[in-house]
Amino acid sequence: MMNRSTLPSFVNKLSLIAFITLFGFMGIFTASAQDDKLNQFSFEDVPTEDVRPPYFAVAGGFTTTWLFTNLTDLNALTNGIVGGNYTSPLLMFGGEGFAAIGFIPNVRVGIMGATSFNLLQNEAKTRRTEFTLSLTGLGIDYAITPVKGFSIIPGVVGGLGVSNIEITQTSGSQTYQQIPPTATATNYMRRLRSNFTYVQPRLNIEYAFTSFSMLRVNAGYNLSFMGDWQADNASPVTGVPAGINATGLSIQAGLFVGLFNN
């Protein structure tokens, strides 16, 4: 039997054991509850941000362009010579190559060229006029890729151009001795030429249907700034109507091959 002197010590030990036991049960219960929540946890529940990599493309391809330029002043000249008119839009064939700039996200640069060749003849085929228009330029674009494979790409292209008007008249076969010009010659050729600069804001809509091929349609407006006109590559010509230029709406379609990540 415990005496009164040992009773307080025993009670203190019993209280300590009860406290430790209760604390242990609480720890087990808390760990069990946490395990249940851990089992319910899924990495799918963690919100993630869909980060699309920057636009990347290195490609080249062929383009077909329709230039809706005003040909009224040009036709006033050619109609009096051959009795025919050129029609707008002018059909231009060419190509373009471009590459994305890695250190500026979604920006790409490229080089392009396009040429239009147009011919008119009179019924006797003794007179003809040729009108050619050539464009060469550099472009810079910014790509917006809302969904994979589809890009909306505003940009601008600009550079140099050449406009040529060639007029010829022949009277049949000729001999070698008739080639030098004479006062009574019935065969002649005249050429008008102007170099110019141009700038074209544009909007490209592109779809990369594989990682190696892409289709494009675009629309833009070509602004041309004509230079001086020359006749026969030597003589300055004044009085050329300002309406003979390369200004107008531009519509383009193209097929490109290369590498695309969009």
CB neighbours (10 Å) of residue 260? 23
The two three-digit tokens of residue 40, written as one number: 């319910």
What's residue 5's pLDDT? 47
Clarify whether residues 41 and 111 are in a common domain.
no
Clarify whether residues 88 and 130 are in a common domain.
yes
Clarify whether residues 27 and 68 are in a common domain.
no
Query: Which amino acid type is present at position 209?
Result: F
Clarify whether residues 19 and 127 are in a common domain.
no
What's residue 187's pLDDT? 80
The two three-digit tokens of residue 178, written as one number: 């008739």
User: Whole-angstrom Cα distance, residue 249 to residue 68?
Assistant: 5
Clarify whether residues 134 and 214 are in a common domain.
yes
CB neighbours (10 Å) of residue 191? 15
Identify which has the larger pLDDT, 120 or 29.
120
Clarify whether residues 15 and 99 are in a common domain.
no
Confidence of residue 165 (pLDDT cuts 50, 70, 90): very high
Closest CA to 129 of 244, 243, 225: 244
Clarify whether residues 74 and 139 are in a common domain.
yes
Identify which has the larger pLDDT, 177 or 17.
177
CATH number at residue 150: 2.40.160.70
Position 60 pLDDT exceeds 90: yes
Query: Which amino acid type is present at position 69?
Result: T
User: Whole-angstrom Cα distance, residue 38 to residue 89?
Assistant: 69
51 in a structural domain = no
DSSP-derived pairing of the beta strands 90-100 and 57-69: antiparallel
CB neighbours (10 Å) of residue 2? 8
Closest CA to 109 of 98, 117, 119: 98
50 in a structural domain = no
179 in a structural domain = no
The pLDDT mean for the chain works out to 85
Clarify whether residues 35 and 87 are in a common domain.
no
Classify the phi-psi angles of 202: left when phi > 0, otherwise alpha if psi is within -120 to 50, otherwise beta: beta
Query: Of 67-76, 122-131, 178-187, which range is least confident?
Result: 178-187
What's residue 22's pLDDT? 46
User: Whole-angstrom Cα distance, residue 101 to residue 103?
Assistant: 6
How many independent structural domains does the chain possess? Answer: 2
Burial of 157 (0-12, 13-18, 19+ CB in 10 A): buried
52 in a structural domain = no
Clarify whether residues 143 and 244 are in a common domain.
yes
Domain of residue 96, residue span: 57-174+184-260
Position 250 pLDDT exceeds 50: yes
